Chain A
């Protein structure tokens, strides 16, 4: 299989969807000639023109809201919110409008809108350019939320998001954009709502999202030298959540660590822990461990940022705690 970067994989999916369907178009800040602040949409305007690759004003409410309207009118827009911190500006449109049109209309309308955004710490952007806010959105009925962690996943899942008839928020991670990974020759759609076992093991299940999938793999390798066999499961889609796959792994390993880069408290991992204790209580041999950011905004100084954000060593420590080592 060829190897491409996560960034190229996103671009691949966008290009393929626009080639396949005239109703697909993209809009966002600086996405045309500049190619997006992360370079994801580079070259798309050359192929598809400025009508379908639309530079917008700095106007998050209107970007998302116009996407909603175009979706209501039958198109399949993909909007980019440059940083998920700025998603907060469009939250009214996402939460009150996109998520609820179908419901409030009693099923008369649908909103096939995809919102791409990215975040993630590790490069000292400070408190307003690196938050992980996926937990805010998984709480809202009517939205689907995806957080792919590999090039193959982001390509296949973004395709599925675009062709889903519901509003889907696709979280990407800044540090993953340059990461390479194998992808099939042809784009293969990956259904939303399906978890993936990234690494098989027998002693501890680590349920990880986004960059923590990669950090957990590092931790798993280190644990192996201690004789601990770690299974890493990536839910990939946070809403709907593939509970069966998570529970199946827990029933095999009997010990669990839940890991994400977002703040631990009230985070997505809390819901995962609740699901597991309810559906696999009798299989648990140790308390569920949670790994995430400490309860503070992201500081600028690298040493402080690094202290707050979870790394492989935090996952490894949690793995060890579950086995009492």
Chain B
């Protein structure tokens, strides 16, 4: 640990320390918990009344929509189950015409990292944040819904592959279904009711294209894109990227994070990547392009991602096309590679 880290540790301890009255904390947390529970029961009562009205032939808002309010946790998450999908959010990915959805052609799912063969507008239109990922044999939506819940929904032809996908695995319950022959759906959520709501919100007849605020125009020899991901938080791009693979076991990630205010950092340059000013991290495991407005774009070749060289990263970064405005999806490149 160096001097700055030592001082930092001391400073954090100093700022965090101090007495905490555990009894008061317990009392107030329990009081709030009981309040949340009462509010939740009131919600559920209202929800049951709505269900009864629908069962009796009632119509809500002029449509035959069946709203299920709350997820059992009183967190305020609503999904229209078995009814109309939600409006596509402003950060919706471009829809792909001419490509069959997962329900029609399950074999295409997880076979093209440029595409997502499902949608879930009832989730993405209300989620706090969400990330789409397309990888080998699977496609995933991870989202923060309601006030605090995290959900994962994945589709693919092989449930074994879906069970092995990267996610927070100590989360609640898992629901596995086979919506059509040859296609599996795996949903993980904090409780079963929420998981069932998520299952009901999956739209298997839509295809979307993953786009990013950058595009690769040159790949290192023998490398191909094996995974892509793009994430949004509160209607704004947060991060995304692609993973390149070579020889089945060598990997490199090109990723970009939204960084408001970034752009005047060329003075940090200690490296040139394909003619562009860059910063080579001391461990020689990551190279960041400099001078990009509101964007941190880098190639990671070390630790978790190994087998590629600095020269490989330079080649990929040297040819990258960057969106004019990371906050305006209309300015983003239309494809991940060219």
Q: Do A and B bind each other?
A: no
Chain B residues within 8 Å of A, Cβ to Cβ:
none
Chain A interface residues (CB < 8 Å from chain B): none
